[in-house]
């Protein structure tokens, strides 16, 4: 059964101090999360000076990539509902001396987007959001026409690889992933609210990147 939002906050408070290390350990199983994150950020096609919103920014693992993309004249807005994860993100910001990152503690479904953002990113978060269709609609409305929303997350592999699902769920269970969450298909909402949509699968269909550009 999927965790509710209060349970997710409790879970991620407890793992905040070791979240970065846990993410790196997935290399043992062939999951190159750094490569996956780089592909997600590259798909945004950001320019120097752009404003980008990251939904569920966690400890800020994507911030170095976003910083290189938008430069010091750009702006990064990181949104997360867990105070302990944002505390680690602040440590990262301070360590790098970034002055263009704004952190917002909020449930992403309730976050009030500023209008006219150049990109919106979400990695390993959308699966936890039951209201993903409404959120994707709001993301589309916030984007400048021609700019993109990119979502990266886990999914069920198809065909004979579906037999891997119990193993994959075992790897992802510490993060709160359950079978019903992996069944969600947010990329279908991209086709409703965004143009020029694409879906790319990774790791034998166990993960995906969904791209959509506002018309």
Judging by DSSP bridges, how do beta strands 207-213 and 143-154 pair with one another?
antiparallel
pLDDT confidence tier of residue 156, bands split at 50, 70 and 90: confident
Q: How far apart are CA 150 and CA 158, in angstroms?
A: 22
Query: What does the pLDDT read at residue 20?
Result: 86
- Residue 72 confidence (pLDDT) above 70: yes
Dump pLDDT digits (tens) for 157-190.
765 555 655 555 555 566 656 555 567 789 999 9
User: Judging by beta carbons within 10 Å of its beta carbon (0-12, 13-18, 19+), is residue 143 exposed, middle or buried?
Assistant: buried
The model carries a pTM of 0.90
CB neighbourhood size of 196 (10 A):
12
Query: What does the pLDDT read at residue 179?
Result: 52
Contact (Cβ atoms closer than 8 angstroms) between residue 154 and residue 124: yes
Query: What does the pLDDT read at residue 184?
Result: 76
- To 10 degrees, the CA torsion angle through 83, 84, 85, 88? 120
Q: How far apart are CA 41 and CA 46, in angstroms?
A: 8
Dump pLDDT digits (tens) for 80-129.
999 999 999 999 999 999 999 999 999 999 999 998 999 999 999 998 89
> What's the fold here for domain 5-213?
Rossmann fold (3.40.50)
Q: What average pLDDT is seen over the chain? A: 87
């Amino acid at each position: 059964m999927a965790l509710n939002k209060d349970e997710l906050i409790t879970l991620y408070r407890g793992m905040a101090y070791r979240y970065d290390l846990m993410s790196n350990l997935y290399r043992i199983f062939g999951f190159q999360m750094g490569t996956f994150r780089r592909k997600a950020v590259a798909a945004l096609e950001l320019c120097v000076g752009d404003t980008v919103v990251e939904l569920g920014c966690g400890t800020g693992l994507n911030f170095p990539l976003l910083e290189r993309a938008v430069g010091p004249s750009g702006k990064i807005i990181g949104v997360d509902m867990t105070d302990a994860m944002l505390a680690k993100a602040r440590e990262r910001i301070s360590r790098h001396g970034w002055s263009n990152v704004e952190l917002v503690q909020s449930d992403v479904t309730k976050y009030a987007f500023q209008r006219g953002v150049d990109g919106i990113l979400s990695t390993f978060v959308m699966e936890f959001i039951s209201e993903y269709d409404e959120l994707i609609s709001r993301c589309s409305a916030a984007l400048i026409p021609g700019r993109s929303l990119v979502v990266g997350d886990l999914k069920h592999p198809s065909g004979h690889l579906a037999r891997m699902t119990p193993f994959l769920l075992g790897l992802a269970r510490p993060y709160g992933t359950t079978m019903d969450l992996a069944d969600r298909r947010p990329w279908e909402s991209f086709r409703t609210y965004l143009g020029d949509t694409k879906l790319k699968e990774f790791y034998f269909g166990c993960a995906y990147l969904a791209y959509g550009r506002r018309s």
